[in-house]
Amino acid sequence: DAKTTQPPSMDCAEGRAANLPCNHSTISGNEYVYWYRQIHSQGPQYIIHGLKNNETNEMASLIITEDRKSSTLILPHATLRDTAVYYCIVELSNFGNEKLTFGTGTRLTIIP
Amino acid sequence: EAGVTQFPSHSVIEKGQTVTLRCDPISGHDNLYWYRRVMGKEIKFLLHFVKESKQDESGMPNNRFLAERTGGTYSTLKVQPAELEDSGVYFCASSQGQGFPGELFFGEGSRLTVL
């Protein structure tokens, strides 16, 4: 079963920052937070991951609270192509055995 | 660089028939995974190969499903005989593994419809 809780849906205006929350109150010290998304009927797409520190890449930023019980994925300037289901996943990193457990995710809709 | 490719993109078969899905991972990726989403459900892990060896097949639903990865390159997932509840989208993913935690590259999926 998924170890995370996400809102089922969110809307965001095009060009604004989309902030997607995720609760993972039972996360253990060696578990990572991963974010994936699925655009329409395509395969899931990796976005970003982190352990303790905030992370940023060309797609998004990941903010993890100090107690690690929650995190926020930030898409800084949302576009229509960012409309997708976003999955927050907590898993051990076994450096080769990434058995990801997908939950129901958040359906993000970008409004023109 | 080519991504993960899956074939066929869509297959329609009748209950009791056999279907074989194929996955070609990204070149050089030792890790290969199969996942599936059945109607209305979440994406679920099926199994994981490291090269040609099955590392974890705890998600395989029953013995009607057989996965192989001959030579550690492409993989096939055979469903024999297919049942109605097998309908869904089967995703393949690959990863480099060591040093790159959590970054799985998924294919577009193979949609299976069992009538």
pLDDT digits (tens, 9 = 90+) for B68-88: 998 889 999 999 999 999 999
Mean pLDDT across B95-101:
70
Classify residue A62 by burial, with Cβ atoms within 10 Å: 0-12, 13-18, 19+: buried
Which amino acid is residue A77, in one-letter code? H
CA distances from A97 to B22, B47, B50, B97, B99 (A): 21, 10, 9, 7, 12
Confidence at residue B100, expressed as pLDDT on a 0 to 100 scale: 61
Contact B94, B81 (CB under 8 A): no
Task: Find the largest Cα–Cα distance for chain A.
Answer: 41
Taking the mean position of all CA atoms in its chain, how far away is CA B59? 11
CB-based contact B83:B12 (threshold 8 Å): no
What is the mean pLDDT of the segment spanning A36-61? 93
* Highest mean pLDDT: which range of B48-57, B83-92, B97-106: B83-92
pLDDT in tens, B1-52: 689 999 999 999 999 999 999 999 999 898 999 999 998 899 999 999 999 9
Cβ B86 vs Cβ B112: under 8 Å: yes
By the 10 Å C-beta count (0-12 exposed, 13-18 middle, 19+ buried), B79 is classed as buried
Q: Do B45 and A100 touch (CB under 8 A)?
A: yes
End-to-end CA distance of chain A: 35
Chain A neighbors of B35, CB-CB under 8 A: 100, 102
pLDDT tens string A76-111: 999 999 999 999 999 876 666 678 899 999 999 999
User: Is the bond preceding residue A76 a cis peptide, omega within 30 degrees?
Assistant: no
Residue B95: its chain A contacts at CB < 8 A? 96, 98
Residue that the structure tokens 């994981």 belong to: B48
**Mean pLDDT value across residues A42-65:** 94
Contact residues, chain B, for A42 at CB < 8 Å: 108-109
**Nearest CA distance, A111 vs chain B (angstrom):** 25
| In the predicted structure, residue A51 carries a pLDDT above the cut 80 | yes
The answer on pLDDT for A18 being more than 90 is: yes
Mutate to test the interface with A, among B44, B100, B104, B113 (most CBs of A within 10 A): B104
Contact: B89, A41; criterion CB under 8 Å:
yes
State the pLDDT confidence band at A3, using cuts at 50, 70 and 90.
Answer: confident
> What is the structure's pLDDT at A23?
97
Three-state secondary structure of A56-68: ECCCCEEEECCCC
Would you state the pLDDT for residue A94? 63
| Rounded Cα distance, B23 and A66, in Å | 40
Give yes or no for a contact between B44 and B98, defined as CB atoms under 8 angstroms apart: no
